[in-house]
Structure 1
Amino acid sequence: MGERFAAEPGFVSRLVAPGFRTVLDRIDAGLETGSLLAHLPDGTTRMLGARKPGFDVEVWLRDWRALLRLATGGSIGWFRAWEAGEWEADDKVMLFALFTANARTLGGTARSSGPVRWLSRVAHRFNRNSRKGARRNISAHYDLGNDFYAAWLDPAMSYSSALDIADDGLADGLEAAQNRKMDAIAERLGSARSVLEIGCGWGALANRLARDGADVTAISLSAEQLRWARERHGPGIDFVLSDYRDMSGQYDAVASVEMVEALGRENWPVFMDCVARALAPGGRAAIQYISMSDDLFETYAASVDFIQAYVFPGGLLIKSSEFRKLAEKRGLVWRDEVRFGQDYAQTLKIWRAAFDDAVRGGHLPDGFDQRFIRLWNYYLSYCEGGFRSGLIDVHQVTLVKD
């Protein structure tokens, strides 16, 4: 079927081109900032946008069908088109940043529609984060193997945004910037003697807090992560395979770094109940989370995007205003919120470079084929573009129990 819409400027290509140019018209009208120079399958070029400064990118459409996939499948369709070789760009990150930065004015132009949207939503419902579903979803992403993540993360295996990282990604390095992130979390918790960490990853933050003298209970649903953490981190930490909903007892402090994006909206109140229940009176929680801009959240949540479909089943970014209201309703005072989304963009840039280096050097473990490798390169680029746009952000906040 692809040959019917191939790049040669033949009869069929000329026949279908007007319909696809309607899609280009909608993209052009929706690009309030930045520009997209499109090289089309019939050999012509077209400049889209270019009204106000923004992200500028050049795209080569090898097949008209890429636009059909975009118009019907949104970010999922656009990935499938890239995977099929139907388009390429001089800079994928800038392309994703351009689309995200103009999400308000593009409207439904780059979102799934019709049967594709309905089928994606039905499939996504099977990824709900029930106790069983949450274990399955977490395993799908984090149990790819410790050797896989070790090939491109920093030595502490910090898989969340670093803090105060230089624009060039160098300066004192990613590891130092990850340590600053953990220091900031520790500072928010004060002199807590007992800490519950919800979603402990490979244990770097738990180890940091234990070195300060805290007794840390660190929970995760990833058996692979916990195996790594138990082997490498010392006393003072109780690593537990547990769902946050099953935890009991009270602690001086609670920490959670980029775990809440795995909950799903229906579980945000449950999470806040858990935090309020776990904190002793006067206790403090430090939460790091990723948000979608409030005014775009409802539209985002109503569809299924590339990450939910291919990388992180059951995931959903946070609507910050709603998250805050849920905390305050439970007597948790919202304090000292900071945002550092551009630090996340730089973190992702470094991860992607390290990932690509690991691929070139043959350092990934066996079993990951070229399709998987290309998917992950695309995923890291997609995420970086989202943070570059400014509409996706990362936050740290302190919650204090009255």
Structure 2
Amino acid sequence: MTLSISPDAPVGATGRRPSVDLKRWPDVALLPRASALRTAIARRLVERALARLPLRIRHGDGHGRVPRPCTPQDGEPTLTLHDPAAFHRRIGADGLIGFGESYMAGEWDSDDLVGLLTVLAAHVDDLVPAPLRRLRGLWAHRRPLRDRSTVEGARDNIHRHYDLSNELFALFLDPSLTYSSAVFDTLPATPDALAAAQHGKIDRLLDLAGVGPGTRLLEIGTGWGELAVRAATRGAHVLTITLSEEQRDLALRRIDDAGVAGRVTVELRDYREVEGRFDAVVSVEMIEAVGAEFWPAYFTALRRLLAPGGSVAVQAITMPHDRMLATARTHTWISKYVFPGGLIPSLDAIARESAAAGLDITHDTGFADHYAETLRLWRERFVKQPDAVDALGFDRTFRRMWELYLAYSEAGFRSYYLDVRQLRLVATGQDTEASW
């Protein structure tokens, strides 16, 4: 993919990007405070790190510069620095948050954004020399206390992402409005295969949880209602909960249109507030928003809500345990701009927390390649519709932020820095098999 975005206007004497809305994006519009020494150190570290990677560096004047002795090979992604001084200053002040904000400001681009980010993700442990990793705290920010996923905090965090606009999500999702990884029959996937692949993913989860006629099902995280509809058409009685008012309102309309309103109840409710017992519980890519502090409460709720003989089916994004531990301590670009309060768990963390709550994992399947393809299809559809995004009230800075989010996520799965898994959990000691 080639980006055709012109370099941003130069930074003025005040250190402000005149093309970026200061009220909407204060930390993008204004360059951060950073000493000349800190910026110089950042530049030296970045240049040395990038010189060892299979990519090319170019400056905005169009003359390529490769900071390594060997000749670049065809197909290597290119990082074009329109404003190297601002790029290094942001990284010197804010690390990877600065890297992302620099992209939002238009200070760098790439002819292959996913390819570039995949290279960086694959070599994430090599970017900073080992002795300097202990100094991470000098530039890595702590997560804001306001982002903690308490009952009230979780509502605000969900609102900041999922209540952006139903119309925005409809621009790039398939007609089922399913905002999680699909499972395709074949890879690479074609755009017209996405809806069926999303239905296939949902059906796998429902099978994993044993959902059929008469099943009392709890869904934690409604989305826009597609899983609840498919469960209800199987004859299940569904309680689905969400913290997003916009999702709730649209899900109710879609459930009514599907003719299953009598079998589905949609409530604005936190998972910690649900009462009752259910034959099956399904939660799709919701644990990532819970936050490590509240994982014990999450798994305890799953166990408390599960009726004897019941099953839990969870779809979860995961990352390696050591990377999870490092990420948990810091405020990242994703947590600042996309998913406040969340943390992607490791499989080890899920196993430990679920066991502590009295749940055993009896099924585990990973499919990172399928999420990479899902994200590719979403991203390609999103970037083709800038005018439609603008018409919804979003600006160029938002479009660059959202494109980077989708590309960054896709790169995580292509490099296997991230994985996505479907898990089945049952009460400890329960002897039962999955139905597929």
**Same structural fold, with TM-score higher than 0.5 when normalized by the shorter chain:** yes
CA distance in 2, matches of 1:331, 1:137: 28
Partner of residue 368, structure 1: 394
* Residue number in structure 2 paired with 1:96: 117
Q: TM-score, normalised by structure 2?
A: 0.81
Q: Which residue of 2 aligns with 1:250?
A: 277
Deviation, 1:341, is 1.0
Opposite residue 375 of structure 1, the aligned amino acid is M
Separation in 1, partners of 2:181, 2:172? 14
Q: Give yes or no for the alignment of 1:56 onto 2:82.
A: no
Q: Where does the alignment leave 5 or more consecutive residues of structure 1 unmatched? A: 6-14
Q: Does 1:135 align with 2:152?
A: no
Q: 2:425 matched to which residue of 1?
A: 399
Does the 8 A contact of 1:100 with 1:386 survive in 2?
yes
Q: Select which of 396, 406, 411 maps to 1:380.
A: 406
**Deviation at residue 370 of structure 1 after TM alignment:** 1.9
Q: Give runs of ≥4 in structure 1 deviating > 3 Å.
A: 1-5, 15-21, 40-44, 47-51, 107-116, 165-168
User: 1:306 Cα shift?
Assistant: 1.1
User: Aligned pairs, how many?
Assistant: 386
Q: Which residue of 1 aligns with 2:91?
A: 70
Quick one: distance in 2 between partners of 1:343 and 1:253? 25
Q: Percent identity?
A: 36
Q: Structure 1 pair 239/110, CA: closer, same or farther in 2 (3 Å)?
A: farther
Offset, 1:285: 0.3
**Most deviating of 166-175 and 236-245:** 166-175
In 2, Cα distance between equivalents of 1:292 and 1:164: 22
What's the CA shift for 1:35? 0.7
What pairs with 1:166-245 in structure 2 (closer than 5 Å)? 166-170=186-190, 173-192=193-212, 193-233=215-255, 234=260, 235-245=262-272
The CA deviation string for residues 151-177 of structure 1, in whole angstroms up to 9 with x for no partner, is 221111100000126433317510011
Q: 1:50 to 1:330 in 2, by over 3 A?
A: farther
Q: Give the letter for the 1:322 counterpart.
A: A
CA distance in 2, matches of 1:49, 1:288: 45
Which residue pairs with 2:312 in the alignment?
Answer: 285
Which residue in the other structure is 1:11 paired with? none
Deviation for aligned residue 1:398: 0.3
Who is 2:56 aligned against? Answer: 37
Supply the distance in 1 between the matched residues of 2:389 and 2:58 (Cα, whole angstroms): 36
From 324, 327, 338, give the equivalent of 2:365. 338
Contact 2:369 2:414 in 1 (8 A): yes
Contact between 1:37 and 1:48, CA under 8 Å: does it hold in 2? no
Aligned to 1:9: none
Tell me if the contact between 1:28 and 1:49 (Cα under 8 Å) persists in the aligned partners: no
How far apart are the structure 1 equivalents of 2:228 and 2:330? 35
Gap runs ≥5 in structure 2: 1-9, 16-36, 431-436
How far did 1:85 drift? 2.6
Q: Partner residue of 1:12?
A: none
2:412 partner amino acid: G
- For residue 311 of structure 2, give the secondary structure of its aligned residue in structure 1: strand
Matched to 1:205, the amino acid is: L
Equivalent of residue 101 in structure 2, options 80, 85, 99: 80
- The AA in structure 1 aligned to 2:345 is I
In the alignment, is the contact (CA less than 8 A) between 1:202 and 1:225 conserved in 2? yes
Match of 2:350 among 323, 338, 343: 323
Q: Does 1:121 align with 2:142?
A: yes
- Equivalent residue, structure 2, for 1:10: none
In the alignment, is residue 27 of structure 1 matched against residue 49 of structure 2? Answer: yes
Cα distance in 2 for partners of 1:323, 1:399 equals 11
